[in-house]
Every structure is written in structure tokens, then in C-alpha cells.
Amino acid sequence: MSATPRETFNIIGHEAAEQPFRDALAHGRMHHAWLLSGPAGIGKATLAFRLARILLNATDPQNAAGRRVTAGTHADLLVIERKTDEKRGRLRGEIVADDVRPIQSFLRRTAAEGGWRVVIVDGAEFLNRHAANALLKLLEEPPPQTVLLLTTSSPGALLPTIRSRCRSLVLSPLSENDMRAVLAEQGYDAVEWPRLIAQAQGAPGRAEFLGRDRNGEMARLAQAWLGGAARDVTPSVADQVARQEDGFALLCDLLGKELSGRARALALQNKISLAAKAAAAFSELAALRRETERFNLDKAQAVEQAAAIVSKL
């Protein structure tokens, strides 16, 4: 298991995304809000904590400030993210206004260590309307010596007025060499590297996520579905997938990668109608996953719905 974003001091890759932030700080032109965007698992939260550590002089794991960031006790750092639904034991589908409200009191205080105050909003696409409007007010009138770092996998889901008030940092997929370094650091056997590098598409978090399918069961199931077996999925099979940790998400991820690749390949062959069907299935599957995770819907039913989407190909 790799370190969490909060626990990570050194990150592999993303130097190009980090450099504009460092330049702004070095030249006294620090913008008050930054939007870090990129695919899920690319390292947005990890980079956000890295940038926060730079501002808070907390990049050294041996100094007190560095340890306080890791422990979640640094007085000048506030993190807003989806909270756990205690009844369901999983993340809530939204960031609500009550989650954002602590930012106001945090920013009214003087910086405890006399420097910057930093707010990380991790997963800004999950802000509901009330939370987004509350955050927008803060972005419109930012206090001095304050930086907000927003992360999102879906920039288009944010209010245009929020996007327009942020400087954009777009994270690119890691190179194959960087991915090897990440997998080595995470302790994966070198035998697994080719599969994970091919499937992860340059996203370290995705590689770790896909690494949970160590026996390749979900990968085989995805291939079987795309070969026609999706038409024969029974409720018991759906329940079996749903009961596995992240089973539904893993299956959707693997199916999505294959469908997007199929759509591109068919388009290049000028098989436009077939390419359109594959692209439509990809979009429908992505929407199903978003809705299921956002509203904590029944995973077994979602697996059956995913099978129905794929069976239309």
C-alpha cells in the first residue's frame, strides 16, 4: 500500500505542473486559487499536498511543520473533502455546504505560523450547488496570504465562475519510466509491471487500484463481457462482483478502457456507426458509475445495468 497524499513528501512526475506554481511563488505573484485537474488516480491530491507543503515550509519530513501536515494537525492547513456516511460505511456522494462552512472561520484567524494559510478542496466536482456557491464567495473576495487548491477529475462539472477564478494546472499522464519507479516504490513485483503500466495509462493511483485485481479475475470478466457473455449475466454473478472490494468500480474501469480503445480503432477504420455505438456505451457506462458512486446505489443492480449496456454492442 502506498502512502496517502497527506503522507507523501516526494512525488514522481508532475514537475511540469508544479513549475508554474513555484514560479509564481518565487516572483511574488502567487494567485489565490489553483485548479488541479486530470484523470482519476493521476496524483492531483498528492500534488495539492505537495504545493501546500511548499507554502507552509513543510517539505522536510524531519521538521515539525512537515510532521504536522502528515498528522493533520497543522493549524494553517484546512482540507475539505467528501465525508464518510457512517450508516453506509462509505464516502458520501456530495460535499455539502456544512462541509465548506469551516473555511470561513479558518480564514478569519491569523496564520498560526505567520505565513500562508492553505485550503485544499479535494474532489471539487462533488460540491453540491449550495457548497459551490459558498466556495465561490470566498474565491471572489480572498483574504491576503491565502491559497485555495482545488482538485477535480471533471473540470466541466464545476461552476464556470469557479473555474474562471482559478489558475489551471493540468496533470499529464506519467511516462513509462516514471510509472516503473512508482510501481517499484509501491512494492509490486516486476512481473506485474507490464500489465499495470498498460492498463493504468500513466495514472499511479489507477495502477494501485487495478493492482487489487491480482488474479486478473475482473480483467477476464471484462473481456468475456465484450466477447458476448454480458448477455448471460445472472443476478448471482452480479452479486458476486458487487461483494468484492471495489469490484464494480474495477469492472467499470476495465470495460471503459476497452470501449474507448474500441471506439478509436473503429473510427480509424472508418466504421463510424460501430465507433459511435462503442463511444455511446462508454459514456453510458461512465454515467452509470458516477451515479452509482455519487448516490450510493445498489452495486449488484448497477452490475446488471452495466451488463445490459455492454450487451447492446
Residues 26-81: tens digit of each pLDDT = 999 999 999 999 988 999 999 999 999 999 999 999 999 999 999 999 999 999 99
The percent of residues above 70 in pLDDT, for the chain, comes to: 99
CA distance 53 to 36: 16
Average pLDDT rounded to a whole number, residues 168-187? 95
The beta strand positions in 155-218, using DSSP E, are 167-170
Residue type, 58: A
Q: 5-170, superfamily in CATH? A: P-loop containing nucleotide triphosphate hydrolases (3.40.50.300)
Q: Residue 1 — very low, low, confident or very high, per pLDDT cuts 50/70/90?
A: low
**pLDDT tens per residue, range 239-289:** 989 988 788 988 998 999 999 999 999 999 999 999 999 999 999 999 999
- In 3D space, the residue among 19, 33, 122 whose CA is nearest the CA of residue 80 turns out to be 122
What is this structure's pTM? 0.85
Closest CA to 43 of 222, 181, 217: 181
Cβ–Cβ under 8 Å, residues 150 and 124: yes
Confidence (pLDDT) at 86:
78
pLDDT of residue 216: 80
pLDDT at res. 163: 98
Task: Locate the domains of the chain by residue range.
Answer: 5-170, 212-311
pLDDT per residue over 98-122, tens digit each? 999 999 999 999 999 999 999 999 9
Q: Which residues pair with 151 in a beta bridge?
A: 36, 122
pLDDT over 90 percentage in the chain: 79
pLDDT at 270: 96
